[in-house]
Amino acid sequence: MPTITTKDGTKIFYKDWGKGQPILFSHGWPLSADAWDTQMAYFGQQGYRVVAHDRRSHGRSDQTWDGNHMDQYADDLAELIEALDLRDLVLVGHSTGGGEVAHYVGRHGTRRVAKVVLVGAVPPLMLKTAENPEGTPIEVFDGIRKGTFENRSQFFKDLTIPFYGYNRQGAKISEGLREAFWLQGMMGGIKGQLDCIREFSEVDYSEDLKKIDVPTLIVHGDDDQIVPIQASAVKAAKIAPKATLKVFAGGDHGLAQTRAAEFNAEVLAFIKG
């Protein structure tokens, strides 16, 4: 398996396919690079070089006890980008991966970056506070911690229902997609997954968003039950200097998978535009 070894000795797995302008995909919690399979195949066929990695303690990367925080995730991403010498890069981040992409720019700048796509992304801040009343109460994230700690196998299975909007009237449930989510989640390490909950819920990415000085497409479903749009995309689009907000009516948190053709077309038009 292709890996890089980071400065702290952690092996990070990645896929690197095709030739052309590079697009790097950053996955959500608790998934892996495999969540982007449809996008990797589609954009590779469109003449792009497509790259996706498993975040440390996720998928096929090393499961570490320490370093499962956003500063390290962003630095791991920087090491991967530099090891592969990616330039004129399009960064695509979903959910937690959107925080990772934003924080990468906040820490390492846009010297190698041409455009950014955030989909169902957590920035600027998911947590409900006095200054962020649209956010999600801490009790919800404590429940995620509890479910992951006590029986993550069942918790991940249950999570697929709101994640993909399968609890909505008329939803066509894909058991295969649910099983793929579960499999990716169970490949990861529980310690890193528990640590990561804080990173997607309690970290404020506002200052990172301000530094994304390249064209930015923010895609979000207005029926996202995991990362509600009012506390995330609506605010992020006002903070990132060159952002365009695209709202998918009725879109769920996993719309890159459940509405892949529509999402892929939107991103392709943005990259070419």
Residues 168 and 248: beta-carbon distance below 8 Å? no
Q: Which residue among 27, 94, 220, 253 is the active-site one?
A: 253
Return the pLDDT at 200.
Answer: 98
Return the pLDDT at 129.
Answer: 97
Nearest alpha-carbon partner for 2 in 90, 10, 11: 11
Nearest alpha-carbon partner for 207 in 13, 93, 70, 19: 70
Return the pLDDT at 113.
Answer: 98
Q: Which helix (H) or strand (E) holds 177?
A: helix 175-187
Return the pLDDT at 265.
Answer: 98
E strands of the chain, at which residues?
3-5, 11-17, 22-26, 49-53, 89-94, 113-119, 216-221, 243-248
Mean pLDDT along residues 241-249: 98
Residues 1 and 13: beta-carbon distance below 8 Å? yes
Residues 98 and 208: beta-carbon distance below 8 Å? no
Active site residue 253: yes
Q: Which residue among 32, 224, 232, 252 is the active-site one?
A: 224
Mean pLDDT along residues 119-139: 97
Q: Is the pTM of this model over 0.85?
A: yes
pLDDT band at 162 (very low <50, low <70, confident <90, very high): very high
pLDDT in tens, 190-206: 999 999 999 999 999 99
* Fold assignment, 3-272: Rossmann fold (3.40.50)
Return the pLDDT at 84.
Answer: 98
Q: Which residue among 32, 95, 201, 232 is the active-site one?
A: 95
Return the pLDDT at 186.
Answer: 98
Active site residue 224: yes
Q: What residue type is assigned to position 268 of the chain?
A: L
Q: Distance (Å, rounded) from C-alpha 109 to C-alpha 245?
A: 22
Q: Distance (Å, rounded) from C-alpha 63 to C-alpha 161?
A: 27
